[in-house]
Chains A and B, each alone.
Chain A
Amino acid sequence: MHLKSPDDLEQFRTRILEKRKAQDTKKRVVLCTGTGCRGAGALDVYDAFKKALGNKSDIEFKTTCCHGFCERGPITIIEPEGIFYQRVTPETVPQIIAETVKKDQMIEELLYQDPQTEEAIPAEKDIPFYKKQNRLVFGHNRLIDPTQIEDYLAVGGYQALVKALFSMSPEEIIAEVKSSGLRGRGGGGFPAGRKWESCSQAPGDVRYVICNCDEGDPGAYMDRSLMEGNPHRVLEGMIIGAYAIGAHEGYVYVRHEYPLAVENVGIAIEQAHKMGFLGENILGSGFDFDVTISKGGGAFVAGESTALMASIEGYVAEPRAKYIHTVESGLWDKPTNLNNVETWANVPVIIEKGAEWYSKIGTEGSKGTKIFSLVGKINNTGLIEVPMGMTLREIVYDIGGGIPDGKRFKAVQTGGPSGGCIPEEMLDLPVDFDALTEAGSMMGSGGMIVMDESTCMVDVAKYFTNFLKDESCGKCTSCRDGTLRMYEILDRITKGEGKEGDIELLEEIGWTTTEASLCALGGTAANPVLSTIRYFRDEYEAHIKDKRCPAGVCPALITYTIDAEACIACGKCKKECPTKAITGEKKVPHEIVQAKCIKCGTCKEVCPVDAVKVE
């Protein structure tokens, strides 16, 4: 089916919708098979449903990608009622079919239970995790099988493209994106409309648009979920952008660690081609555009704009100085417009609903919504999409459900490896580009790692600095050696070998690294160190002066002991200790021989009565 005009598209859409309307009242089973749910065994559940339903079943069974609440995966939704079943196992599948699908009976055990009221909640929208969210960009994921373009058309897909191609001039589109206030979601927050404008005005006949799905930021996976779950939306944004800018070739740069994203966007490109959304004379508009996938080799710095372009060209991903703008001279020295996955995915809704509508969401300086990956020491981990300006407190407590095991909140780390840690006193900070930067952190691509009292902030700084030292491309001395020296000092401090003056030295090296490096990797590499010093100086001092790790994390500064009062002498820890460092007999409480202890934590883990203490 090749669509040659907007009318063709609308007729096709009407047919899809009519067919679906007839099925709307029938029972449907929707299973999430995104990477998060796969990690929890969704593919086994898939097989179980396939087997239980058989080939000829008239019950529609469909798979989607990420819904966001990965903590509760595998997730299954029974439509049309929208019953939300969580942590579904292959064993419960026959029961779901027999009771819920066939007899309309709800299975209590599979419903989400509100931890406060202990009430079971049947519908997704009523679950606290979803209630405060505004799923402007991410919401369609739950309705779409990414391998079926019909699903995207059924929710109004490619409508914005028609509007852009047939009733707007490129200048009007750029003006619309500019006045929407959309800022780049890849980290820098640069106004997207302005970037498009500069690129469209740069001299030259050949221009490129690129989608950045490198997502090298460890601990974040929103770009992956969008790409896996709704690739057509990203493509639609790219086609609109290409038309506005005057580009006829585009690239999607995906990291190779995301095989499912590569696969799904590949399928989407192929389908879009077949149907006439990509290729020559798109929908009869006379506009030509094509997209190629480029697989990244797994280097954090390759996500940086100039490094990414070098990587597509087949070179080492080294950033170059920014006095030559990529919008004028980027990929193969042609004007190039690079945007992040989420930025592109925002474009269709802006064109469809208009800049005025869009810019009502968010804060003065940051419009729209932002997707965050909320992970770490928090009850409801997953992907969340909230309007800009929501406070951290609302995110952590209302959506995230607070900290597990009754522990105390300590900090939330935002902005990826070169972001910063925001302490408890600042929980009422509204989350937008400018507020986060002011607090010494940054928006980054949207990672949010929650830390509790058992997280050591010096260890956190060391972790990020280690990451950045490995990922520094080595071009600038300040970044290459600055990160290395900071790492060495932090390593010493965590080993109990910290000296008076170390904190000041870290601050000094941090300043130099920030000021003297070419790209933003080096420019922000000191953030983890400087922000933890700023808010958690006492922890540094405890390590340096008292040789103590208050959170009980740094192996050299802690000891494992067994509380003789609490020990029930069950022998478990003694049996499992990998170095046989535990003594004790029948009815004699166990004891740890410190000289042999490697602090692996096994005894603490296996102890049934929590008698192992760490200090």
Chain B
Amino acid sequence: MEELQELLKTYPANRHSLLRILQAAQRQMGYLPGEALREVASYVGVSPAEVYGVATFYNQFRFIPYGTHHTVVCLGTACHAMGGQLILDAFERELDIKAGEITPDHEWSLDRVGCIGCCTKAPVVVMNDAINAKMTPFKVEEVLAGLGLQLKRSTDSEGEEAGEREPQ
């Protein structure tokens, strides 16, 4: 919290600065723990409840840390129309968490967002700040496996035994 104290000093202690302070604090810490909200409140001179009210109103602020791998699934209109829900379902299924949560080992966190402005590439997922365009449920498994996740479905090659059959 010392660093936060330093940061606070660079902003005027007034109401107008509240959003900017919260944004900067989140940039510094990655999220806004309760303690930080209380510090900000006493600095700006409003009640912690008021700060909490503002912070929870805006979608930008988070109250849990990021996982090592952070995924944001876009569910904006274009992405929804192109099947974004199936993509979110796939992430929730494989990671076994819901949007807005983090895995117990803090390796994976998952969020949803309403449009990142990359709609021509829908459905879009941002993983560790990189944009993954034109996602499919199958690609979700691929990227997760690529990042080292043990996938749920068995990886044995039972399926491959079933050989090709000529199209009729």
Q: Does A156 contact B (CB under 8 A)?
A: no
CB proximity of B130 to chain A, nearest CB, Å: 9
Which residues of the other chain, B, contact A455 by a CB distance below 8 angstroms?
A: 81
Does B15 contact A314, Cβ atoms closer than 8 Å? yes
The residue of chain A having its C-beta at the shortest distance from the C-beta of B94 within the complex is A578
Q: Which of B18, B20, B78, B131 contacts A375 (CB 8 A)?
A: B78
Shortest C-beta distance, A483 to chain B (Å), equals 15
How many A residues, CB 8 Å from partner?
A: 81
Contact check, B157 vs A71: say whether CB atoms are below 8 A apart. Answer: no
CB distance from B43 to the nearest CB of A (A): 13
Stretch at the interface among A109-117, A425-433, A510-518, A563-571: A563-571
Q: Are A602 and B138 in contact (CB under 8 A)?
A: yes
- Whether B162 pairs with A569 at a CB distance below 8 angstroms is yes
Q: Across the interface, do A382 and B120 meet the contact criterion of CB distance under 8 Å?
A: yes
In the complex, the chain B residue whose C-beta lies closest to that of A590 is: B162
Contact, CB under 8 Å: B81 / A587: no
Which chain B residues border A571 with CB–CB below 8 Å? 158-163
CA separation between A297 and B78, bound complex, in Å? 22
Complex Cα gap A96–B15 (Å):
55
* Least Cβ–Cβ distance between A572 and chain B, in angstroms: 7
Would you give the 0/1 interface string for B21-37, flagging 1 where the beta carbon is closer than 8 Å to chain A? 01100000000000000
Within 8 A of A (CB), among B1-45: 14-20, 22-23
| Contact present for B167 and A298 (CB under 8 Å) | no
B93 pairs with A36, CB closer than 8 A: no
Bound-complex Cα distance A311 to B54 (A): 9
Q: Which residue of B lies closest to A71 (CB)?
A: B120
Q: Is B164 an interface residue (CB 8 A)?
A: yes
Residues of A within 8 A of B97 (CB): none
B53 at interface by CB-CB < 8 Å: yes
A118-162 interface bits toward B, Cβ cutoff 8 Å, 1 = contact, 0 = none: 000000000000000000000000000000000000000000000
Residue of A nearest to B53 (CB): A316
Report yes or no: B141 in contact with A578, Cβ–Cβ below 8 A. yes
Q: Which residues of A contact B22 (CB under 8 A)?
A: 297
Q: Counting CB contacts under 8 A, is B119 at the interface?
A: yes
Convert A290-304 into 0s and 1s, putting 1 for each residue whose CB lies closer than 8 angstroms to a CB of B.
000011111110100
> Is A597 among interface residues, defined by CB-CB distance under 8 A?
no
Any B CB within 8 A of the CB of A313: yes
B167: which A residues are within 8 A, CB to CB? 566, 568, 609
User: Among residues 212 to 252 in chain A, which have CB atoms less than 8 Å away from a CB atom of chain B?
Assistant: 215-221, 224
The reply to whether B59 and A298 contact each other, CB–CB distance below 8 Å, is yes
Dominant SS at the A interface? loop
The answer to whether B77 touches A381, judged by C-beta atoms less than 8 angstroms apart, is no
Question: Are A257 and B116 touching (Cβ within 8 A)?
Answer: yes
B residues less than 8 Å from A316 (CB atoms): 53-54, 57
| A297-B61 contact in complex given A373-B119, A568-B166, A600-B89, C-beta closer than 8 Å | yes
Question: With A38-B131, A577-B153 as given contacts, are A314 and B86 in contact (CB-CB < 8 Å)?
Answer: no
Asked if B159 and A572 make an inter-chain contact with CB atoms under 8 angstroms apart, the answer reads yes
Q: Which residues of chain B from 76 to 93 have any CB-CB distance to chain A below 8 Å in the complex?
A: 76-83, 86, 89-90, 93
Bound-state CA distance A528–B68 (Å) is 39
3 closest residue pairs by CB, A with B: A297-B58, A575-B159, A219-B77
Binding site for A on B (CB under 8 A): 14-20, 22-23, 53-54, 57-61, 75-83, 86, 89-90, 93-94, 113-122, 124, 131, 133, 136-138, 141, 152-154, 157-168
Q: Which residues of A contact B (CB under 8 A)?
A: 35-36, 38-40, 70-71, 73, 215-221, 224, 256-258, 294-300, 302, 311-317, 373, 375-377, 381-382, 413, 417, 447, 449, 451, 455, 460, 463-464, 467, 473, 565-580, 584-590, 598, 600-602, 605-606, 609
Q: Enumerate 18 A-B pairs (CB-CB under 8 Å) in ascending A order.
A: A39-B121, A39-B124, A219-B78, A297-B22, A311-B19, A373-B119, A375-B78, A376-B77, A376-B78, A377-B81, A381-B120, A571-B158, A575-B157, A575-B159, A576-B153, A586-B161, A598-B93, A600-B86
